[in-house]
Amino acid sequence: MKAVRFDAWKTRPTLVDVERPVPGPGEVLLKVAGSGACHSDVALYAIFEEAIAMPQLRPAYVLGHEVTGWVEEAGPGVVGMERGDAYMVYAARGCGHCSSCSRGEDTLCVNVASMTHLGSGLGLDGGMAEYMTVPVRNLVPLEGADPIAAAPLVDAGLTAYHAVKLALPKLAAGGRTALVIGLGGVGQLAVQLLRQMSAATVLATDLKPEACDLAARRGAVIVDGGEDQAARIRELTGGRGVDAVFDLVGTAETMQLAQAVVAVRGRITVVGLAGGRTDWGFYTTPFEAEIMGTYMGTLEELHELSALYRAGRLEVYVTPCSLDQAMDAYGRLEAGTMLGRAVVVPHPDAAGVAVEGASQAEPATV
Ligand SMILES: [Zn+2]
Ligand SMILES: [Zn+2]
């Protein structure tokens, strides 16, 4: 079968022919429906090297950690799986027996130092391929919902869901306000989730007018950039400040904006990976405000997110492309010219989608 394999640090992955995997005990062979091309894949092959990367991410393996698919074959001992049923793949793969893994928090596995991988497509073979094997525990049902648009939910969507869910106590009162800084794919999902899951007023800001328009249509109150932006945001909160800020960018500038607008006892969640730094001190920070990082989400949360998606309560923009066009899609991701999330569809006929050249494809609302 064809697969996009990452073979060495600082080397672009290539489309290669590999053996179709065989499901072991407790595993399922999945026929890949959709596989999202994620920015962190670009970081993996273009930026990381031995000195800075986690050893668990060392190549070689098949990329793809945002995967959905149909059951093709059940391995020994697997019951209750029907051929053709659609599932999301929870990508994180911890030791399976520590206190974190026991709660479905494989992302925070206590034994990560002794593990050889972080997850599928992250040290283990992922789903940028025609088929992949998955432990049955990591499958989250999609039922009749479209598996192609669902692919980005597995990572981008789950990251937004986790950050929003953890911040809900900050928004659990009348007159509360949230702010989303950065309205790319994850930011757009954060706006939708905040509108679905809380009663807070949702403010949002981005440099791109079309991203702001989309968020406005989804119920966000847009705050334009500019010098007095922090003052205008505070004004919109009646002077109280923002109870939950989500920084989807993560530069020093966006973190400082977050600090300038956060309320007493408010929370800043830094989701973006830009690697910015900021000063945090008693005299410059509202009383009892907090700042935290976040990393993907839990298996249980992916079940919750899937339920929201199956109920038709989330809108996801994707650009389908074929497996042959996967490297072209990564190229456009590197160049910043990809519209919406590129989802590689290895079996377009089975998925019932048209995959024109990735470079010509218009973003499809699915
Ligand atoms: Zn990702
Ligand atoms: Zn563990």
In this structure, are strands 27-36 and 67-74 parallel, antiparallel, or unpaired?
antiparallel
Q: Which ligand is nearest to the CA of 98?
A: 2
pLDDT of residue 357: 53
Q: Which ligand is nearest to the CA of 99?
A: 2
**Is residue 145 a contact partner of residue 79, using CB atoms and an 8 Å limit?**
no
CA of 103 to the centre of ligand 2 (A): 9
Q: Which fold has domain 167-293?
A: Rossmann fold (3.40.50)
pLDDT at residue 349, as a whole number: 86
Domain ranges of the chain: 2-155+297-365, 167-293
CA 137 to centroid of ligand 2, rounded, Å: 14
Give the integer Cα–Cα distance in Å for 323 and 300: 30
Spacing, Cα 236 to ligand 1 middle (Å): 33
Tell me how far apart the alpha carbons of residues 172 and 123 are, in angstroms, rounded to a whole number.
39
Tokens of 224: 């334009």
Q: Is the peptide bond before 358 cis (omega within 30 degrees of 0)?
A: no
Query: Which regions of the chain are under pLDDT 70?
Result: 339, 356-366
**CA 177 / ligand 1 centre spacing (Å):** 28
Distance 43 CA to ligand 1 centre (A): 10
Rounded CA separation 358/165 (Å): 34
Would you call 277 exposed, middle or buried from its count of C-beta atoms within 10 A (0-12, 13-18, 19+)? exposed
Nearest residue to 304 (alpha-carbon basis) of 109, 140, 168? 140
Which residues make beta-bridge pairs with 74? 28
Position 124 scores a pLDDT of 97
Distance 294 CA to ligand 1 centre (A): 13
Give residue 105 CA to ligand 2 midpoint distance, Å: 8
Angle between helix axes 185-197 and 156-167 (nearest 10 degrees) is: 40
135 Cα: distance to centroid of ligand 2 (angstroms): 15
Q: Residue 79 — left, alpha, or beta (φ > 0 → left; ψ -120 to 50 → alpha)? A: beta
Tell me which H or E stretch contains 42: helix 39-42
What pLDDT sits at residue 121? 97
Q: Other C-beta atoms within 10 Å of 174: how many? A: 6
Distance 292 CA to ligand 2 centre (A): 22
What's the 118 CA to ligand 1 centre distance in angstroms? 12
The rounded distance, in Å, linking the Cα atoms of 320 and 74 is: 27
- Tell me how far the alpha carbon of residue 278 lies from the centroid of ligand 1, in angstroms: 25
Question: Is the separation of the CB atoms in 55 and 112 below 8 Å?
Answer: no
Query: Domain 2-155+297-365 class?
Result: alpha beta
DSSP-H helix ranges across 56-155 = 147-150
**Which of the ligands is closest to the CA of residue 96?**
2
Same CATH topology for 2-155+297-365 and 167-293: the answer is no
CA of 66 from ligand 1 middle (Å) equals 7
Summarised one tens digit per residue, pLDDT across range 93-103 is 999 999 999 99
Q: Quickly tell me which residue has 């019951």 as its tokens.
A: 79
Surrounding ion ligand 1 within 5 Å at CB are 38, 40, 155
Q: What share of the chain is helix, strand, coil (3-state, %, to 5)?
A: 35, 25, 45
Q: Which of 62, 57, 58 is nearest to 6 (CA)?
A: 62
Distance 107 CA to ligand 2 centre (A): 8
CB atoms closer than 10 angstroms to residue 30: 27
How many angstroms is it from 240 CA to the middle of ligand 2?
41
